[in-house]
Amino acid sequence: MALSNLSGYLNRSTKYVLDNTAKILRMEGAKEPSRAPITLLSFHTREDLSQFATGCDADIGGTSTLNFELDECPARNKGSGSPASARFWGEMRLDVLPELKGKIRGGYAGFRSKPRTSLFGELCDDVSNHQFLALRLRLGGDPRLRNSYFVNLQTDGPVTTDLWQHRLYFKRNDEGWEDIFVGGLLGARPG
């Protein structure tokens, strides 16, 4: 595992040097920044899923469960645009271990992208030239929980613990794939 982490670290560092050297040689700083869509995260392979960390209240004494796995079922991936996708599922429970009642709260689960460290620090995606974040999602499970999902965005600023949180509002009731737009990254709404 340690060799794999070192390999990833060196690959990210090399890619950073090559990408930025190419930008300098092409004098990209003199051009208007691109506003073309960019893919920030993919969920189509096991390697993609290894770039994420998961957690739920069970980590601190709760009783919820969580699974984050590659789903290659053609029926569930129909309409996703890919033969495979990530499936995030489990059981949400408010209970905690008896000895922790009144000390902690249960009822949460989530996943996040792992930090991408390199010789040049942590690599971050610059979305300052984009007005919104587009997510392709499919909602399943209990209909009462349909608006209980959030996306958190963390900025690369002086306060590293600052998060921007947005609730995800699903419109479909048929468990089909839909595009959800999170606007206001620059104070604008998607068109």
Task: Single out the residue of 126, 120, 98, 111 nearest to residue 185, CA to CA.
Answer: 126
Is residue 147 pLDDT above 60, yes or no? yes
pLDDT band at 191 (very low <50, low <70, confident <90, very high): very low
Residues of the chain above pLDDT 90, percent: 45
Does residue 189 register a pLDDT over 70? no
Q: What pTM value is reported for the model?
A: 0.77
DSSP string, the chain: -HHHHHHHHHHHHHHHHHHHHHHHHTTGGGSPPP-S-------SSHHHHTTEEEEEGGGGTB--EEEEEEE--HHHHTTTTSS-EEEEEEE----B-GGGTTT-----EEEEEPP-EETTEE-----TT-SEEEEEEE--S-GGGTT-EEEEEE--SS-TT-EEEEEE----SSS-EEEEEEE-TTS----
Confidence of residue 3 (pLDDT cuts 50, 70, 90): low
Q: What is the pLDDT of residues 64-108, one digit of tens each?
A: 999 999 999 999 999 888 999 999 999 999 999 999 999 999 999
Tokens of 56: 């739920």
Residue 146 binned pLDDT confidence (cut-offs 50, 70, 90): confident
pLDDT of 166 strictly over 50? yes
Tell me what the mean pLDDT of segment 42-69 comes to.
96
- In angstroms, the CA 104 to CA 102 distance is 6
Q: What is the mean pLDDT of residues 167-181?
A: 90
Q: Residue 67 CB: number of other CB atoms within 10 A?
A: 11
Instruction: Give me the amino acid identity at 60.
Output: I
